[in-house]
Amino acid sequence: MLRFFHHHWRRRWEKLYRRNRWHLSVDIALIMAILVLVAAVVSLHFYQPNLNWPAWTGIRHQLVDVSNPPVQLQAETADRFFKFKEPVVLQINFNNAGKTAADDVNLTFKSLVPDFIITQVRLGSGASSVDPANIKITDSAVIIKEIGGDSRGTLSLEVYFQGEPESAQRTLSWEVLSEYTLGSQIIKQPLALPALKLASELKVKSSAYYNSPQGDQLGLGPIPPLVGLPTSYWIFWEARSFGDFQDFVCSAKLPAGVELTPNQAILAGDLKYNPDSRQLIWTLKNIAHQADSYRAGFEIQLTPAASQAGQVLPLLADLKYYAQDTASGAEVAGELAAPDTNLKDDRINQGQGQVLN
């Protein structure tokens, strides 16, 4: 082998190198280039890089499994029912299981029911681990500047809704869409929020008339009332509900000088009178959502005493009601302003309630 290289060297020396050293320089350069290439190929073949350095472990250079993102959200509500103009107390629990911080976490709240519109989102008074300085709130969205890697926490919020209580839709379906940045990737993830029921609302009204809203005369006797002379009026009770109620009771007492006549117009339920306690009780077994108003009417007769001259006299006293919300089981109760001889709902005779002598 050595003799072959030696012989080859002598031939090129006599033929080329001795006449022009330029050929020798070119051959040496080519040999060096070949050696470098061989060394590079061998080095790459045996090179085993450590891919666990930060540029490869960070999510910034990885594709995130959108079906199992590192930031997990959970939501809890304080109650299953909500009312318009009252906040829904919502707690967001978050957990970033990744090593990289989630930046600009945008939580956008959306109602999936057209009848209910989100009008405002505010920070709640409950426990929250997020610094308020790192939070920006718009009408229906919350932006958290950063959720650090390998961290968890809570965020307390109050969400307000707008809508019509008489809406046929009683269940609120809603969600929050989370959008945030992990490295160079934008992650979007919807989260269904706990469904809520619109709390039932009961409206009860008591009105007194001498002339009906259509102008028909219902009462008898002098207007304004006169001492010693009887004047009769009609009292109408009305109940209407948004949602379903059961076991409705409306009660009142007759003041001194007021008596119940036999004339009644009971369109729904039962009206009972106890002369010993002078108490009237109107009961309804059930009140259905969006049904026509439930009504009961009865006539009373007032005979003012001399000591009552110059006064506006009550026609009922201690007027109150209660019922049970069928959906929640909660009791709803209230008091009503007692009608008097001024007849504020009577367009013809209102304001003529002062007893004349």
pLDDT digits (tens, 9 = 90+) for 217-231: 999 999 999 999 999
Lowest mean pLDDT among 12-21, 33-42, 204-213, 236-245: 12-21
Answer yes or no: is pLDDT of 19 > 70.
no
Answer yes or no: is pLDDT of 265 > 70.
yes
Fold of 201-335: Immunoglobulin-like (2.60.40)
Pair of tokens at residue 343: 């007849």
Which residues touch 199 (CB under 8 Å, ≥6 apart)? 81, 82, 83, 243, 325, 328
Averaged pLDDT of the chain: 86
Report d(CA 65, CA 56) in Å as an integer.
Answer: 16
Average pLDDT for 7-36: 67
Answer yes or no: is pLDDT of 316 > 70.
yes
What is the DSSP pairing of strand 317-325 with strand 331-335? antiparallel
Alpha-carbon distances, residue 336 vs 35, 169, 251, 272, 348 (angstroms): 104, 29, 10, 19, 23
Report d(CA 195, CA 204) in Å as an integer.
Answer: 29
Share of the chain above pLDDT 90, in %: 57
CATH number of the domain at 66-198, out of 3.40.309.10, 3.10.150.10, 3.40.50.300, 2.60.40.10?
Answer: 2.60.40.10
**Same fold yes or no, 66-198 and 201-335:** yes
Answer yes or no: is pLDDT of 5 > 70.
no
Average pLDDT for 251-269: 95
CB atoms closer than 10 angstroms to residue 118: 19
Strand partners, 233: 300
Answer yes or no: is pLDDT of 80 > 80.
yes
Q: Which pLDDT does position 54 carry in this prediction?
A: 43
Most confident residue range from 72-86, 248-262, 278-292: 248-262
pLDDT tens-digit map of 38-67: 777 777 777 665 544 444 444 444 456 556
Average pLDDT for 105-120: 92
State the Rg of the chain over Cα: 43
Q: Which pLDDT does position 7 carry in this prediction?
A: 63
Answer yes or no: is pLDDT of 13 > 60.
no
Q: Which pLDDT does position 53 carry in this prediction?
A: 44
Give CA angle at 158 (96, 120), nearest 5°.
Answer: 110
CB atoms closer than 10 angstroms to residue 313: 20
Each domain of the chain, given as residue ranges in start order, spans: 2-46, 66-198, 201-335
Q: Are 183 and 99 in contact (CB under 8 A)?
A: no
Answer yes or no: is pLDDT of 254 > 70.
yes
Q: Which pLDDT does position 61 carry in this prediction?
A: 45
Q: Among residues 223, 305, 193, 325, which one has the least CA distance to residue 257?
A: 305
pLDDT bracket for residue 2 (50, 70, 90): low
Report d(CA 354, CA 347) in Å as an integer.
Answer: 16
Q: Which pLDDT does position 150 carry in this prediction?
A: 86
Alpha-carbon distances, residue 333 vs 157, 204, 305, 330 (angstroms): 29, 10, 34, 10
CB atoms closer than 10 angstroms to residue 342: 18
Average pLDDT for 297-303: 96
Q: Which pLDDT does position 169 carry in this prediction?
A: 81
Which residues touch 139 (CB under 8 Å, ≥6 apart)? 118, 119, 120, 121
Answer yes or no: is pLDDT of 26 > 80.
no
Pair of tokens at residue 87: 């906040």
Share of the chain above pLDDT 70, in %: 86
Average pLDDT for 108-126: 91
Q: Which pLDDT does position 275 carry in this prediction?
A: 94
Q: Among residues 60, 134, 117, 127, which one has the least CA distance to residue 92?
A: 127
CB atoms closer than 10 angstroms to residue 311: 15
Pair of tokens at residue 195: 């469904």
Pair of tokens at residue 90: 């919502």
Q: Which pLDDT does position 63 carry in this prediction?
A: 55
pLDDT bracket for residue 353 (50, 70, 90): very high
Percentages helix, strand, coil for the chain, rounded to the nearest 5?
15, 45, 40
pLDDT bracket for residue 6 (50, 70, 90): low
Q: Which pLDDT does position 32 carry in this prediction?
A: 79
Instruction: Read off the pTM.
Output: 0.68
Average pLDDT for 269-284: 95
More confident call, 278 vs 293: 278
